[in-house]
Amino acid sequence: MMKQPLPVPSSQRERDVLEWISRVGVVDSERLVHRFFLRDGEDVADAAPRAEAALKRLVSKGYLHVRQFHVDGARPGAPSSSRHRAEHHLIRTYGLTPLASSSLHLPLLPPLREKFLQHHLKLLTALTVVETQQAAKGGRLMDFKLEGQLIQEDFQGKRFTAKTRHAMPCFPDARLTLRHADGSSECVFLEYVSSKYTDEDIRGKADAWRGQSTLWAVPNPSTAARVQQLTGEPALLV
C-alpha cells in the first residue's frame, strides 16, 4: 500500500529546516539549534528545548528520521578537566525521509555510514565558516552541493560498471558558488582534510583539481602545515 504524500509544512521555518537538511543529508541537533532556532542574545540551553520540540514534531509527522551516533572526543563546550574528558559522546542527528523527499520534491542524498559521520560534521563546520567569512566581506554563499549530490548528478542516466568506477572523477567534499562583494561569482571546491589523509591523498586531490579554486579545511595546525607544503595553499582551521 502506497503512503499518502506529505503536505507542505505551513511554517516557513519548518520548510527552511527540511530544505537545508535535504541538502546536507545528515545534521546534528546542535547545529540545527544554532542555524534555525537561536534568537539574538539567547543561550543555546534556552533554545534547545524549543528546537527539540519542533524537530520531534517533524519526526512524528514523517518528514525526518532521527539517529544517534557515538563520535570521538568530548562534547563541544565540555570542561577540559580529566574528570570530564571523554573518548566519545553521543549525538542526535536528523535526516530527510524518502517520503518527505518525494512529497516535497527535495533531494535525498545517499545514506551516510557511521564511520564517515565525523568527517561529514567537520565539513558542515567548514561550510558555516566559509559562509560567515563571505558575509563579513560583503559577499554571500549562493549555493552548495555536497559530494553525494555531485556523484548522483554525474552518474544520472549512466550505467554503473567496474569500468565506470575506474573512470570516476575525483569529487570534492563540496562544490560552492560564492558571490563576492564586487558582484562577481566563483565556483570553489571545499575539501576537509582529516589528520588521516596521507600526503599522497592530498597531492592526488590537488593534482586532480589543478586550476580549480579550492578551499582546504583542516582540524589542526600540523595538518594545515602539510596542506600548505603539498598544495601551496593556506588551510582553514575548523
- Say which amino acid occupies 238: V
Q: How much is the pLDDT for 169?
A: 85
Domains present along the chain, CATH in parentheses: 1-108 (1.10.10), 112-238 (no CATH)
Neighbouring C-beta atoms of residue 162, cutoff 10 Å = 6
Q: Mind listing the pLDDT tens digit for each residue in 110-122?
A: 999 989 999 999 9
User: What is the average per-residue pLDDT within 176-196?
Assistant: 97
Model pLDDT for residues 75-116, shown as the tens digit of each residue: 544 443 444 445 677 899 999 999 999 999 999 999 999 899
Q: Give pLDDT, residue 224.
A: 98
Confidence at residue 166, expressed as pLDDT on a 0 to 100 scale = 54
Paired sense of beta strands 88-96 and 26-28, if any: antiparallel
Is the pLDDT at 192 greater than 50? The verdict is yes
pLDDT score of 82: 45
**Angstrom distance (rounded) from CA 150 to CA 145:** 7
Written as nine digits, the cell of 57 is 514534531
Residue whose grid cell is 520540540: 53
Q: Of 238, 236, 198, which is closest to residue 214 (Cα–Cα)?
A: 236
